[in-house]
Amino acid sequence: MVKPPLIPIARPEHDEGEAEAVRHVLATDWWTQGPEVERFEKEFAAFVCAPYACAVSSGTTALHLALLVAGVMPGDEVITVSHSFIATANAIRYCQAIPVFVDITPATFNIDPNLIEKVITSRTRAIVCVHQMGMPCDLAALITIAQRHGLVLIEDAACAAGSEILQKGQWEKIGRPHGDLACFSFHPRKVLSTGDGGMITTANSGWDDRLRRLRHHGMNVPAHFRHRAAKVICEGYGELGYNYRLTDIQAAIGRVQLGKLPDMVLRRRDLAVRYRHLLAGQRLITLPFEPEWARSNWQSFAVRLAPEVDQLTLMQILLDNGIATRRGIMNAHRERAYSCGTWSCGKACINCLENTCVRLKQSEDAQDQTILLPLFPSLASEEQDQVVRALNEILVSPPLLWK
């Protein structure tokens, strides 16, 4: 039997515009962090209405540097979710700090603000909220908590480029920033992609200056400033830094992608509406929820399965029918790097036993009972119909799916 063509979970969007932008950079004598990066930063900052934007090599390095400039030190505690790609927790550990996991709200898959103050201690330095799958967090509640306790609020906006939140009657882009710093990823699974890369936005000029030094080994003068200066300039290195630079090749792609972002988000929102229409009435799944104060970019479309449906079996049958899916978002506390036996902080996994944690039940249920369906701007109506038809056909003949 010939297997049907695969409908992927995602597909990076690009055309001749990105190719021409890359050719332009290749024709110059500056390929690494330089004038294209500078232009990309200014255009991204203008798009999200942020005073400052600093480009870096990935969303993970963005989080790492944001935590450092926020003053997170070894032994500090940072409140966040386990229900996120492991990079969120890893970045905290890069600072030798302790991630303190709290549970999510099941409707949005985002951090539950009602649980945060219960775990704040004298060692708590910051909160890292994750706009999971592009769905904005309840920033109004989070900002109130952070200000009340003197904590830094960092937004892990890895998936949220183009998402919006209603603030005081106005729709504002995620990244404005509403917290103290917002960190984006430009991985190919994201809505805006440069192959890999990241961006940090902030309203704090001092933090922005330090971010720019830290991303380039602590150098106090950008390399392209020295090279175009009329006088000899000798740089200095005042602190330990990192090689977290974005290349001009990536930035050129990012500038073209940024120009397309509003249309790509609009197309994703249309596809999400169409999924809702086509899947309405399917009793074995629950469709994703979007609060009235949020506009998701629909980086992913996550449907929650009824408890009796076996997630992995369903995913395998769909794959056999040429449809790629992904399981619900992972939980860091379930990975060996964060298990009680291999990590001795004793805080994030204090109640964990045999791969479960009584404090993180909603996070675990979300991972075990959710699948992500294909969604990307070039997804054709016929392909979306095929996804829905296969899902419905499998769910109406469920013997193989009962747990």
Q: With bands split at pLDDT 50, 70 and 90, how would you rate the model's confidence at 234?
A: confident
The three-state secondary structure class of 376 is coil
pLDDT of 218 > 70? The answer is: yes
pLDDT of 354 > 70? The answer is: no
**DSSP assignment, residue 322?**
T
Q: What's the pTM?
A: 0.93
Interval 140-160 mean pLDDT: 98
The three-state secondary structure class of 399 is helix
4 vs 187, higher pLDDT: 187
In this predicted structure, what is the pLDDT of residue 398?
63
Interval 160-180 mean pLDDT: 95
Give the Cα separation of 188 and 401 in Å (integer).
32
How many other CB atoms are found less than 10 A from the CB of residue 283? 7
Q: With bands split at pLDDT 50, 70 and 90, how would you rate the model's confidence at 225?
A: low
In this predicted structure, what is the pLDDT of residue 339?
72
How would you classify residue 237: left for phi > 0, otherwise alpha for psi between -120 and 50, otherwise beta?
A: beta
Domain edges within the chain? 16-259, 262-401
In this predicted structure, what is the pLDDT of residue 54?
98
Per-residue pLDDT tens digits for 117-129: 999 999 999 999 9
Q: With bands split at pLDDT 50, 70 and 90, how would you rate the model's confidence at 399?
A: low
Per-residue pLDDT tens digits for 374-388: 999 999 999 999 999
Give the Cα separation of 194 and 95 in Å (integer).
26
397 vs 117, higher pLDDT: 117
Per-residue pLDDT tens digits for 57-87: 999 999 999 999 999 999 999 999 999 999 9
- Letter string b/e over residues 386-402, b meaning 16 or more CB atoms within 10 A of that residue's CB: bbbebbeebbeeeeebe
Interval 226-239 mean pLDDT: 74
Interval 201-209 mean pLDDT: 97
Q: With bands split at pLDDT 50, 70 and 90, how would you rate the model's confidence at 238?
A: confident
pLDDT of 151 > 90? The answer is: yes
Q: With bands split at pLDDT 50, 70 and 90, how would you rate the model's confidence at 2?
A: low
Give the Cα separation of 100 and 92 in Å (integer).
10
Per-residue pLDDT tens digits for 319-344: 999 999 999 999 999 998 887 544 43
Q: What is the DSSP string of 201-249?
A: EES-HHHHHHHHHHTBTTBSS-HHHHHH-SS-----B-S---B-PPPHH
pLDDT of 367 > 80? The answer is: yes
In this predicted structure, what is the pLDDT of residue 109?
98
In this predicted structure, what is the pLDDT of residue 222?
73
pLDDT of 295 > 90? The answer is: yes
Q: How far is CA 77 from the centre of its chain?
A: 21
In this predicted structure, what is the pLDDT of residue 25?
94
Nearest to 191 by CA among 262, 97, 85: 262
In this predicted structure, what is the pLDDT of residue 343?
42
In this predicted structure, what is the pLDDT of residue 325?
98
**Which CATH number fits the domain 16-259, given the four candidates 3.40.50.2300, 3.40.640.10, 3.30.360.10, 3.40.50.300?**
3.40.640.10
Interval 33-55 mean pLDDT: 97
In this predicted structure, what is the pLDDT of residue 146?
98
What is the average pLDDT score of the chain?
Answer: 92
Question: Residue 256 burial (CB < 10 Å; 0-12/13-18/19+)?
Answer: buried
pLDDT of 152 > 60? The answer is: yes
Give the Cα separation of 142 and 69 in Å (integer).
20
The domain defined by 262-401 folds into: Aspartate Aminotransferase, domain 1 (3.90.1150)
Nearest to 242 by CA among 96, 56, 90: 56
In this predicted structure, what is the pLDDT of residue 401?
63
Least confident piece of the model among 23-27, 118-122, 224-228: 224-228
